Structure 1
């Protein structure tokens, strides 16, 4: 039998690469060499110092894509870890280290599955692998740069699977067919500074800002949609920067974060906040300015043949029928959804971003099996 690619060894090797965003740490170089040796055409799509890799096997369609990232969040105090956070150590049936769950195991599993598949049963079609070093950061020069490179070079995917960890506690229990949108609004209220003993000579911006925040937080944005739960708004900070107890400040700031479903867009929510700010500013006799950062719009890949193919592969390998979910934060699927239908499936992510991040070794092997089945069934169809 031909030698197969061990996803556990590959995960450990990737964990040993110190890839805190946006450091490459040798991870993409190693993966590029492996994929090139397997017959993939490998390119770097780096932009503004961010490392990105594109690798394609085959020339014809259909094109099945895999997307992931090798960058990780900082470790915090290394002495607080049970094992070296960049050691890739295996102990108690688990592989330990930063990025083991999020998501070097996912990258290792789909790279190993793809390499072995094209060696054993070359598909009538193409496999395209995209890996970035800027998912945990802003994402600006990561997957968007890869998609731009693909467009400029005439490459595209027909469907894509993102290997992010998707299972809350048990392998196979959840896959993502969409994500909520995310936006942050920064509100700045302007008044006139003065002495607290003479409030009539000042214009305190705080009561108006608090009133606006109450109006926003008290609003029921919606009650959920077909594939999403209700949208949520959270006040994340109120800042005045006033060290004196006898001074009315001239300015106050606040920030809110909204996770929204497909009943809204970033623009519609921005318009609503600006309307509310104008109402309160007029009532309070102050100025209120609003600024917005939209991290991603909500989206859903409607259940259909591709979603069913992935779900069946998960069920066949785990014995668990995955829930079709749109929960959680954002991922790079928010960029890919404008390119092609995209779903996400990966390991249990219970320890991601935590001290002592780890994954079950048997789950990594199982994940490669799932990805191998997805590739087989995709091209068989």
Structure 2
């Protein structure tokens, strides 16, 4: 039998095995969405992932991030919440030896819902409508995680003679620091290549910007409105934010990195995600707080960006305190060539019937921690972090098929 015939037989076996699990994939995604895994509440869903991996033969371990070690690493996140009772699922399906290993990964944590009353489909209902599964985390990224779990079960079924190990991880805290994936890799779950199930619309995600988070705090002394002058906490905070906006403009004019310049005109964005303070309209607030997310490119290190932001706030509004939290992620770019890229592209071509496209993110992913070959690949999704988040069912099935075929051929 020729190599091409073997490949054809494997492709058919993978296609059929995934198709048999189509309904299972949909229900698994829905069950993960129903389990509300906001920061600190990941464990009920991790139990489900743990059980499924054990059921198909994986050796499973729980990995708890080490907050002190993370704090000491200039590229890990500042611990955002205690890790007590929280852990990542890390698993291995061992091969016979001598083959290439592949690590499939996804994050289970999600961002909160701000206005559930504005959703057409209740955020935790995981309704299926219009060919989509609706709900918080459906697209970012429980759909991709479910597709990878199905892919792993297919490889376990159809490839009982693999030489290479298949590694799997379901990590926490990707949305606020990244110490989940960082911990799993430190625990010995590296591999020759890594695939991450972010929603890429079936494109090969290879790059992401750097990100730091900061907390701005402006104090002013609470008091009656009739005693207020023109320089209260709000005015001080506004001056600090204006200074940060100037830095944002500086690093985007011009963008010389062709990887990110091709994405959009200003790829390094600043977002003020939270603002809080004050208890009464006619009272000067004691303190106002703004939480800021700041993006940057490969020409800057997280520590450099932090130093620049600190300096600008000191100059623009000395009364404002700036503290850094969660992310200190450097920008990354993995090659768009080489064995992993070729293998995933070939599987995509075989299953989807078109040449795979690449995509660079103006955000960060856990791929930044991987020193070797790594790509993101996942389904079509929409409204990530927003109202009426969804993931497309058909591309979930396609993702599972492409990833299973890639994993089967890679670890053969």
CA distance in 1, matches of 2:310, 2:293: 15
TM-score after normalising by structure 2: 0.72
What residue is the counterpart of 2:36 in the other structure? 19
Residues 68 and 106, structure 1, Cα contact 8 Å, conserved in 2: yes
Please state how far the C-alpha of 1:23 moved relative to its aligned partner. Answer: 2.5
Q: Normalising by the residue count of structure 1, what TM-score does the alignment of the two structures yield?
A: 0.77
Residues in 1 aligned to 2:197 and 2:294: alpha-carbon distance in whole angstroms: 25
Q: What is the 5 A alignment of 1:137-156?
A: 137-140=176-179, 142-148=180-186, 150-151=187-188, 155-156=189-190
Cα deviation digits, residues 24-65 of structure 1 (max 9, x gap): 464333332332232211222244222421121115342100
Q: What secondary structure does 1:68 align onto?
A: strand
| Structure 1 residues 207 and 192: CA distance shift in structure 2, 3 A | farther
Flag the 1:96–1:268 CA change in 2: closer, same or farther, 3 A: closer
- The counterpart of 1:104, out of the listed 122, 142, 147, is 142
Bigger shift: 350-359 or 371-380?
Answer: 350-359
1:124 matched to 2:157? The reply is no
How far residue 309 of structure 1 moved from its aligned partner, in angstroms, is 2.2
2:58 to 29, 40, 47: 40
Distance 2:178 2:85 in 1: 12
Please give the alpha-carbon distance, in whole angstroms, between the structure 1 residues aligned to 2:393 and 2:286: 57
Instruction: Kindly indicate whether residue 299 of structure 2 is the aligned counterpart of residue 267 of structure 1.
Output: no
CA separation of 1:93 and 1:297: change in aligned 2, threshold 3 A: same
For the 8 Å contact 1:62–1:158, the answer to whether it is kept is yes
Does the residue aligned with 2:255 lie in a helix, a strand or coil?
A: coil
Structure 1: 5+ residue runs without aligned partners?
none
Do the aligned partners of residues 146 and 241 (structure 1) sit closer, same or farther apart at CA in structure 2, a change above 3 Å counting?
same
Q: Which of residues 90, 103, 124 in structure 2 aligns to 1:65?
A: 103
- How far residue 278 of structure 1 moved from its aligned partner, in angstroms, is 5.7
SS for the counterpart of 1:19 is coil
Residue pair 2:36, 2:124 contacting (<8 A) in 1 also: no
Is the CA contact 2:367–2:374 (under 8 Å) kept in the aligned structure 1?
A: yes
1-side partners of 2:145 and 2:247: how far apart?
A: 40
Q: Counterparts of 1:50 and 1:161 in 2: how far apart (Å)?
A: 23
- Separation in structure 2 between the aligned mates of residue 100 and residue 9 of structure 1, nearest angstrom: 15
Look up the SS of the partner of 2:57 in the other structure: coil
Structure number with larger C-alpha Rg: 1
In structure 2, the CA distance between the partners of 1:78 and 1:156, relative to structure 1 (3 Å rule), is same
Match of 1:28 in 2: 46
Instruction: Quote the offset at 1:3 in angstroms.
Output: 6.5
Q: CA deviation at 1:345?
A: 0.8
Structure-1 residue corresponding to 2:375: 343
Map 1:171-186; keep pairs closer than 5 Å.
172=202, 174-186=203-215
Contact 1:8 / 1:364 at 8 angstroms: preserved in 2?
Answer: no
**How much does 1:299 deviate?**
0.7
SS at 2:258's partner residue? coil
Partner-residue secondary structure (3-state), 2:401: helix
Counterpart for residue 296 of structure 1: 329
Residue in 1 aligned with 2:256?
224
Cα gap change, 1:217 to 1:35, in 2 (>3 Å): closer
Distance in 2, Cα, partners of 1:160 & 1:197: 57
Distance 1:333 1:103, change over 3 A: same
Q: Distance in 2 between matches of 1:250 and 1:36?
A: 53
Indicate the SS of the match to 1:30: helix
Deviations 1:216-254 (A, max 9, x none): 35524442313222553537388896989999x998876
Structural RMSD (CA): 3.9
Aligned to 1:160, what secondary structure does the other structure show? strand
Determine the C-alpha separation between the residues in 1 that align with 2:89 and 2:295: 30
Q: CA deviation at 1:322?
A: 3.3
What secondary structure, in the 3-state scheme, does the structure 2 residue paired with 1:113 have? helix
1:325-357 superposed Cα distances (whole Å, 9 cap, x missing partner): 2223222223x324x332101011213344443
What CA deviation, in whole Å up to 9, does each residue of 1:252-290 have, x standing for no partner?
A: 876654211101111222333344456557xxxx56654
Looking at structure 2, the residues matched to 197 and 34 of structure 1 have their Cα atoms a distance apart, in angstroms, of 61
Of residues 73-82 and 359-368 in structure 1, the stretch that sits farther from structure 2 once superposed is 73-82
Q: Alpha carbons of 1:270 and 1:25: their partners in 2 closer, same or farther (altered >3 Å)? A: closer
Distance 1:246 1:66, change over 3 A: closer
